[in-house]
Amino acid sequence: MKNLKISKILTILMLSLVSIVLLTACGTNNETKTSDTNVKTIIVGTGNNYEPYCFLDKNGNLSGYEYEVLKAVNELLPQYKFEFQTYDFANVLISLDAGKIDIGAHQYESNEERQKKYLFGQESYTTYTTYVTVAAKNETIHSLSDLQGKKVKTSTGSNSTYLLEKFNETHKDNPIILAYADNSTDEETVVGINNGVWDAVIVTKRDADKFNKAYGNGKAVLKQVGEPVATSKTYFVFAKGNTELQTAIDGALKKLKESGKLAEISTKVIGGNYTESE
């Protein structure tokens, strides 16, 4: 008898606890959605760990190229209101899958695997030509095939990882060793390559220049060798079927290119015009 009473009380308590949690959560949710009905809120998912594309400034606010470009895009599209959410790189596309965000913006190159799952914009907004990048003192690695049996620093979900995996499929006897180091910092990359933790990393020329400038103390710490691993461009990524948003943003990007605004942002934020060619 007594036990029955207690279990009843407990059930009620449990239910009220759950509902309290849910209600408070709902409350915060509603607050963020009190904009007028004509303007649709679009959540942009980007990173916070890739300077100068997406990073947090001194005051902890999101800044960088992705942010500036999308802000300029938003100015041309008054029917939308962009809100920015930051994730670590590997979680941006997963969040797009899960419907947590509407746009993925993290210097995404297009590849077959990604095309299958996501809708890519038609208008690119940066070029992305990547090279094998090794320590400045390295004399043995001159091309991608020299990396067979060597350790290359990569991160899950990146296009470089995808390309290296493709390379390995055809070189099963002596594959490139992929060393996954998710959300590591630039400093870790440079130090790790210089003291032999990794043999190489696949990055763009402007990223390598950035490393040399930041850590070289006037000298080069990294160098790029061989032919480009990939000559591609970066696009905004949308959920499959969201063509309305994709067309709107493509249109805005086109206008920004024609007016020279995109080149201006690129020069200002990245330090060069990387919108059409290197």
Partner 1 sequence: MVDLFDWDRFFTNIPQIVAYLPVTFKIVFYATLFGVILALLVAVIRIKKIPILHQVAGIYVSFMRGTPMLVQLLVVFYGIPIVMQQLFNINVNRWDKIIFVYITYILNQGAFLSEIFRCSILAIPTGQLEAAYSVGLTQFQAFRRIILPQAVRVAVPSFGSDFIGLFQNTSLAFLIGVVDIMGRAKTIGTATKHVLEAYVFIAIFFIIISLLVKGAFYLLDKKLAYGR
- String of b and e for 136-163 (b: at least 16 CB within 10 Å)? eebeebeebebbeebbbbbbebbbbbbb
Contact 144, 268 (CB under 8 A): no
The least distance separating partner 1 from the CB of residue 216, rounded to whole angstroms, comes to 8
Q: Of 107 and 110, which has the nearer Cβ to partner 1?
A: 107
**Which of residues 17 and 39 has its CB atom nearest to partner 1 in the complex?**
17
Q: How far is the CB of 244 from partner 1 (least distance, A)?
A: 18
> Please, which residue, 60 or 78, has the CB nearer to partner 1?
60
CB of 6 or CB of 122, closer to partner 1: 6
Q: Residue 87 CB, nearest distance to partner 1 (Å)?
A: 4
> Would you say 57 or 276 has its CB closer to partner 1?
57
Rounded-to-integer distance, Cα 68 and Cα 55, Å: 12
Number of alpha helices (DSSP H) and beta strands (DSSP E) in the chain: 9, 12
Do 45 and 104 meet the contact criterion of CB atoms below 8 Å apart? yes
Give least dist CB 4 to partner 1, A. 9
Please name every residue paired with 109 in a beta bridge, in sequence order, or none if there are none: 234
By CB neighbour count within 10 A (0-12 exposed, 13-18 middle, 19+ buried), where does 66 fall? Answer: buried
The pair of structure tokens assigned to 65 is: 């190229």
Q: How far is the CB of 201 from partner 1 (least distance, A)?
A: 15
Residue 25 beta carbon to partner 1: minimum distance, rounded to whole angstroms: 5
Helix, strand, coil share of the chain (percent; to 5): 45, 25, 30
Write down the least CB distance from residue 12 to partner 1, Å.
11
Closest to partner 1 by CB, 152 vs 193, is: 193
Kindly state the tokens that stand for 159: 């296009």
- What's the per-residue H, E or C state across 173-187? CCCCEEEECCCCCHH
Beta carbon nearer to partner 1, 149 or 214? 214
Binding positions for partner 1, rule: CB under 8 A: 2-3, 6-7, 10-11, 13-14, 17, 21, 25, 28-29, 32, 43, 48-51, 55-58, 60, 85-88, 91, 94, 98-100, 183, 185-188, 190-191, 194, 214-217, 221
